[in-house]
Amino acid sequence: MIKRNLAKFNQTMGFQIANSNKQKVKPFSGPENDGTNGSVIGRLLSPPDVAADYDSWLVKQPSALNSFDSIMKAAKGKKIVVFLDYDGTLSPIVEDPDKAFMSVEMRAAVREVAKYFPTSIISGRSPDKVKEFVQLNNVDYAGSHGLDIMVPSRAVKSSDKKGNEGAFQPAKSFLPAIQEISMVLEDKIREIQGARIEDNKFCISVHYRQVPSEEHEILKEKVKSLVENRQDFRLTEGKMVLEVRPSIEWNKGSALSYLLDTLGFSTAKDVLPLYIGDDQTDEDAFKYVIDR
């Protein structure tokens, strides 16, 4: 039953990638090719443009979507804990971020996987927005790249003093400054056609997928100029999105670690974390899983 439901999820992920012209599969790293302790990561990133380079790359690091048997071998006798990105992983990359809906098939697959394995979604969006998209109550949610975590209902440990009304928010003290930056940004980019700001509470996302290409650099400079003199904040870039975040030592890898600990798995030797993501911010989670 467990293998069948993971297979269903694997099949659905393949369906997701096949139907998105924005994504291609990048290497799978697991115990067979990275020398780690058995953790599994799945990258769904844009491969090199040159087909020959990609083919060579793929030989050394086989696709996660095509390595299901290897994953099952690594999972034998272990407790699987699943962590997922949202945009580009559970949903396609779309022009309008408010329309990044997941398919019925994907929702059903995630629901089934979560019946058998603790499952969390770690997104750059606010957890409320992600939960509105996913519409599942049997998964846990972390937003703002892990800066806003809904404390799991199955938690065996309570959040520390930084928790607030069922949420763990290590950057809560930054909220006033974040709101100020958001208002200034609105004014600075108002005249750039297609630019839009998404308030993710602890992360300000500036989307420019609909901005004319000749204005991309202009937009980036405007955002950069606002952040560069604010030492408490940093600017990161994803797929056609700029993100302003507090400069604290906390990321998706930290969120994954927190969730494992809260769920009581941090010191367990028989746990296999499985993380699937598609963007640069997911690298922090991949690194944590590999180094764990």
* Residues marked as catalytic: 85
- Would the CA dihedral through 282, 10, 15, 63 be positive or negative? positive
- Dump strand ranges (E) for 145-210: 148-150, 163-164, 167-168, 196-199, 204-207
Q: Count the neighbouring beta carbons within 10 Å of the beta carbon of residue 69.
A: 8
Strand partners, 197: 206
CA distance 292 to 283: 14
Give me the sheet containing 79-84, strands edge to edge.
28-29, 40-43, 271-277, 79-84, 119-122, 140-143, 148-150, 167-168, 163-164
SS3 at position 209: coil
Instruction: Tell me which amino acid residue 165 is.
Output: E
By C-alpha distance, which of 210, 233, 213, 209 is closest to 223? 233
Beta-carbon contacts of residue 137 (< 8 Å; ≥ 6 apart): none
CA–CA dist 89, 102 (Å, integer): 9
Query: What is the distance between the alpha carbons of residues 166 and 177, in angstroms, rounded to a whole number?
Result: 23
Please, are residues 219 and 195 in contact by the beta-carbon 8 Å criterion? yes
Q: Are 74 and 38 in contact (CB under 8 A)?
A: yes
